[in-house]
Structure 1
Amino acid sequence: MVKPIPDGYHSVTPTLTIHGASDAIKFYKKAFDAKEVYRFPGPDGKSIMHAEIRIGDSAIMLCDEIPEMGFLSPKSTGGPSGAIYLYVDDADSVFSKAVSVGATSMMPLLDGFWGDRIGMLVDPYGHRWTIATRKKDMTLEEIQKAGAEFMKGQPK
């Protein structure tokens, strides 16, 4: 029987449209130890119609821009429409590695009130990434209480 969600996939799989998908795959390999699963070339034989990489236990699908189909990258739209939240064993080292190979820091590493250590960056292709490591397991009630305390100290 065919499984509705294939082995090795999750219910949600991000798909990124990238201006320069082949170079982006190289960057993701260097920055996040991504593994290339496959790539399917576009009609010109050079562009990427569809590719898949794996980071940890998760798949990310990607393609080059295909304007006639409405597939535009952050470079063409003026900014990303979403972000990837990437859990890793050591946020500090992965964040530093990503910056060293071309990512730009948006927010330095910090300990979030919800128990994660995070830092935010933008990859060279305009996509936002939050690099995170869980440092403290908390109940929803504990997170809500910590969040309320945190918000008291924020400007209105």
Structure 2
Amino acid sequence: MNQPVKRIPDDMHAVTPHLAVDDSRAAIRFYGQAFGATQAALLPGPDGRIMHAMVRIRDSAVMLHDAMAECGSPSPKGLKGTPVTLHLYVEDTDAAFAQAVAAGATAVMPPADMFWGDRYGVVEDPFGHRWSIATHMRDLTPEQIAEEMKAFMPGGD
């Protein structure tokens, strides 16, 4: 007797990023070195390009594939940038930031204590995707965040 298929697999979250990169195999290696990712899937197409791959970073999946501009899926490098940042929570922002840079990421914003209670920094991976790296340091109310933001931002009180 067949069991009903689970519509959302147990090991997946409701939202999963799916990244276009210029070299999926290199990206998988980089994400392993930078963020401790492990390869979960790799499906090359007939022409050798990667049609689908997936890595796991702790409890989360990141899907990726080789950029295919002809199919409407260019990489950030092909677009000359990206408006999207992936947010990664870690135990130690400074160590994770340094590990990502050592693996080949470019530092965009060095780690700093932020007004919303996180220690936070931003890197860009070699494939053009931006990653914010954060450790939650303080629980704040929305009112406290608003007050700290005023002091933090230019033109604040």
Same structural fold, with TM-score higher than 0.5 when normalized by the shorter chain: yes
Q: Deviations over 1:40-67 (max 9, x none)?
A: 11221x2110000011111000000112
**Residue 19 (structure 2) aligned to one of 16, 20, 31:** 16
1:90 corresponding residue in structure 2: 92
- 1:43-54 to 2 correspondence within 5 Å? 43-44=46-47, 46-54=48-56
Within 2, Cα distance between the matches of 1:18 and 1:4? 28
Q: 1:101 corresponds to which letter in structure 2?
A: A
1:121 corresponding residue in structure 2: 123
Q: Which ranges in structure 1 are unaligned for 5 or more consecutive residues?
A: none
Within 1, Cα distance between the matches of 2:91 and 2:49? 33
2:43 corresponding residue in structure 1: 40
Q: 2:87 corresponds to which letter in structure 1?
A: Y
Q: 1:10 corresponds to which letter in structure 2?
A: H
Within 2, Cα distance between the matches of 1:34 and 1:138? 31
1:130 corresponding residue in structure 2: 132
**Residue 26 (structure 1) aligned to one of 12, 26, 29:** 29
Q: 2:85 corresponds to which letter in structure 1?
A: A
1:76 corresponding residue in structure 2: 78
Q: 1:148 to 1:7 in 2, by over 3 A?
A: same
Q: Deviations over 1:62-120 (max 9, x none)?
A: 00011221010011111113110100111111100110111010111100100100111
Q: TM-score, normalised by structure 2?
A: 0.92
The alignment yields a C-alpha RMSD, in angstroms, of 1.4
Q: Structure 1 residue 138: deviation in Å?
A: 1.5
Q: Does 1:100 align with 2:106?
A: no
Within 1, Cα distance between the matches of 2:72 and 2:52? 15
Q: TM-score, normalised by structure 1?
A: 0.92
Q: Which ranges in structure 2 are unaligned for 5 or more consecutive residues?
A: none
